Structure 1
Amino acid sequence: MLLHALDTADSADSDSAATPPLRTALLLHGAMGSAESWWRVIPLLVDRGYRVLALDLPGHGRSPRDAQLTVDAAAAAVVETIRRLAPEGPLHALGHSYGATVLAAAAAALDPSLTVYVDAALSIEGGHDRAELVARYERDRLARMDADALRRSRPFYSERDAEVEARAAERFDPETLASVSCGADGEWPPAPGSVVVRAEPSSWVSDADVRRLTEHGVGIRSIPGAAHTVWYSHFEEFTASLPELFGGPAVG
């Protein structure tokens, strides 16, 4: 399955095309998000010399639906898409929440030189009732389609943040995501040297998770007071926590 991508190479001007980026940044959004969720992050990476590929995960945005989806199948779709679009050169990869779990499942095949997981425990609890979960996701989708309501419930959202997330909810397919949680439990441990950025406190990455990940050689960077979508609520702190991605000099 090939996924829809926001590819900054498609919008490169003639000057930048003459000196192509030396590295690619892969961005994977969370559940009910879309590639557009990274709208504020993408230009910053481009300024630092990256070609950015922000993907719509299956059942999200403009990517295909799959009512039998698993995390491993979603990961395979990410790998297939990246191999088609950016088969060469170093890859830095960043995933949020559900997208981080998909990234963890894809990491061995992608072999990024930098892998960042944002507020995710990198596991899935299975065994859910499909009909109940689809109904719940549909209720959540309908509620999130109202941009004004989103801003009331998330006062840190800008007007554009709310518009982007409301549009993502409109395009979201509950059947696809529900399938992921209807099978067996799953866990995809991050490789040593990976980085986890977490909100503090976090509903997704517990203190026990922090101890376990640290013992496994994973770097933990906590942002006090941040929301689950860390870059929406604490953009400056988020970028400062990842000098490997955002700390280099701007191009130009």
Structure 2
Amino acid sequence: MKLHTREWGTGDRIALLVHGIMSDHRTWRRFGPALAERGYRVIAVDLRGHGESPRGEGATPAEKYGPQAYADDLVETLPAGAELAVGHSLGGLSLRWAVERLRPQRAVFSDPAWLFDQPAIDPELFVGFADGISAEQVAAMNPRWADEDVATELATVALWDRDTARSLTAHTGHAGLPEAPVVPSLVQLADPSFLVSPEQAELLRGRGFEVRTVAGAGHTIHRDDFEGFLSSLEGWI
């Protein structure tokens, strides 16, 4: 599936950005331009079921959505051999299964949803939250977000297909920590991360990943602490 994309910059280097669940390319409203200022041509996608990209096809959520489908879409849409690829949450999961074919020079997995088969990950929690969302709730849950980020969250959730959440636990064969990085890879974690425990972070270090934590940052690090997010990417961007 060809995905909707948004671009910033016209530099010689290419950076690929992949958002998390319930979001779309607009989550990168600050990071995209920041990379463009550093000489990148930045390409951000809307994953299937998100933003302006097509919805998945099939009779069930599992048929419409899943890590392999997300990864295949990235490969079909994005150029191989980019200098940088960044995936947040669900985007980190999608990038994991596409990285061997996309082969960026460097990959950043920002608080990646690699262990979505955990009992604590209840898809209906995402759906219930989205169906009753309000600006006041988003601001209360994310007190460090700018007003524009709160408004963006409401706008992206309005376009989001809830079946992307309902499909997650049907694809447990794609869950688990990677055995090794395919390309030089940074795992960037929130503090605390509810997706990657300290023990799992140490395991990833032992497997060859660089792991950095952004102190005090929530799951959507690039919106919760943008300066901390950028600082933790030193040497990678």
- Shorter-chain TM-score range: 0.7 to 0.9
Which residue is equivalent to 1:34?
24
* Structure 1 gap segments, 5+ residues each: 10-19, 247-252
Which residue is equivalent to 1:2?
2
CA distance 1:33–1:164, shift in 2 (3 Å): same
1:185 Cα deviation after fit: 3.6
Which residue is equivalent to 2:91?
99
Q: 103-112 vs 184-193, which deviates more?
A: 184-193
Which residue is equivalent to 1:221?
212
Which residue is equivalent to 1:166?
154
Counterpart among 181, 184, 209 of residue 169 in structure 2: 181
Q: Answer yes or no: is 1:81 the counterpart of 2:53.
A: no
CA RMSD of aligned residues (A): 2.2
1:237 Cα deviation after fit: 1.2
Counterpart among 142, 152, 177 of residue 154 in structure 1: 142
- Determine if contact 2:16/2:82 at 8 Å carries over to the other structure: no
Counterpart among 193, 197, 201 of residue 202 in structure 1: 193
Distance 2:172 2:192 in 1: 28
Q: What is the correspondence of 1:59-70 to structure 2 with a 5 Å cutoff?
A: 59-66=49-56, 67=61, 68=63, 69-70=65-66
2:5 counterpart letter in structure 1: A
1:205 Cα deviation after fit: 1.2
Which residue is equivalent to 2:36?
46
TM-score, normalised relative to structure 2:
0.88
1:211 Cα deviation after fit: 1.3
Which residue is equivalent to 2:126?
137
Q: 235-244 vs 34-43, which deviates more?
A: 235-244
1:207 Cα deviation after fit: 1.0
2:8 counterpart letter in structure 1: T
TM-score, normalised relative to structure 1:
0.83
Say which one has the larger Rg.
1
Distance 1:143 1:41 in 2: 28
1:121 Cα deviation after fit: 5.0
Q: Which runs of 4+ in 1 moved over 6 A?
A: none
